[in-house]
């Protein structure tokens, strides 16, 4: 066996090891795939579609929870500066999760050290009260708020998106303020959310466009 062949086999082996597989059954996964939350330790697991379907229904003793994929833009959500400042968060970026383990809403803020839980107890009625059309799914959905650089971005997102954002910050943060690179990645992250999110206004516009198309087809 030649040296070139051995090197090629090593590269192929590394690629096979890097390929993501379902952590429940072992099947190879495409780049876009489902995620599950392991309830006992809060770890996020990659999953294939059939395995994810098995855990679509929540149960008290269920080991895994399927993480949803919908992203919702909250256009009419409002939190005042006083309410935000009362949370005593060190940065203007945080996500809020209804934790079944803690029995309350828990606030986290991402930073170079990872996702840190706030020591301040969050009142559910104060933070989550405006989300009335469809409440958060406990543990697997989060209210993500971005008030950095005078922005006011409010989204309901799958919990894995919050940890993806945290990973970006950990990877690219430099110095005390983070540096230009990390803020570029944060802006790109929220631009992607805006592109993929649904909102009541967009739903209404989509319904109107569909109605217009039907009317034109029958004109």
What tens-digit pLDDT sequence spans the chain (219 residues)?
A: 444 444 544 554 444 455 689 998 999 999 889 999 998 888 999 999 999 888 766 666 678 999 999 999 988 888 888 888 888 889 999 999 988 888 888 999 999 989 999 887 776 656 666 555 677 899 999 999 999 999 999 999 999 999 999 999 999 999 888 889 999 999 999 999 999 998 755 544 443 343 344 334 334
Instruction: Tell which residue, 160, 215, 194, has the closest CA to residue 73.
Output: 194
Q: What is the pLDDT of residue 5?
A: 40
Dihedral sign for Cα atoms in the order 10, 15, 20, 26? negative
Q: What is the pLDDT of residue 129?
A: 60
Q: What is the pLDDT of residue 158?
A: 96
Q: What is the pLDDT of residue 209?
A: 43
How many whole angstroms separate alpha carbon 114 and alpha carbon 168? 10
Pairing state between β 104-111 and 93-99: antiparallel
Q: What is the pLDDT of residue 128?
A: 64
Q: What is the pLDDT of residue 157?
A: 96
The maximal CA–CA distance of the chain, rounded, in angstroms, is 72
Instruction: Tell which residue, 158, 145, 159, has the closest CA to residue 190.
Output: 145
């Amino acid at each position: 066996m030649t040296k070139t062949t051995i090197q090629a086999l090593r590269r192929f082996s590394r690629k096979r090891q890097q390929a993501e597989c379902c952590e429940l059954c072992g099947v190879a996964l495409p780049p876009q795939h489902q995620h599950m939350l392991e309830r006992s330790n809060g770890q996020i697991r990659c999953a294939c579609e059939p395995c994810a379907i098995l855990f679509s229904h929540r149960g008290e003793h269920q080991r895994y929870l399927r993480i949803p994929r919908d992203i919702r833009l909250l256009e009419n959500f409002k939190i005042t500066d006083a309410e935000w400042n009362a949370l005593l968060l060190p940065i203007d970026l945080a996500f809020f999760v209804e934790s079944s383990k803690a029995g309350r809403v828990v606030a986290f803020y991402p930073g170079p050290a990872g996702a840190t839980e706030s020591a301040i107890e969050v009142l559910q009625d104060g933070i989550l009260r405006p989300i009335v059309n469809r409440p958060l799914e406990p543990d697997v959905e989060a209210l993500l708020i971005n008030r950095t650089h005078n922005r006011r971005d409010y989204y309901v997102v799958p919990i894995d998106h919050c940890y993806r954002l945290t990973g970006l910050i950990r990877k690219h943060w430099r110095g005390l303020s983070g540096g230009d690179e990390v803020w570029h990645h944060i802006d790109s992250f929220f631009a992607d959310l805006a592109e993929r999110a649904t909102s009541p206004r967009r739903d209404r516009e989509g319904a109107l466009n569909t109605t217009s198309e039907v009317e034109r087809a029958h004109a």
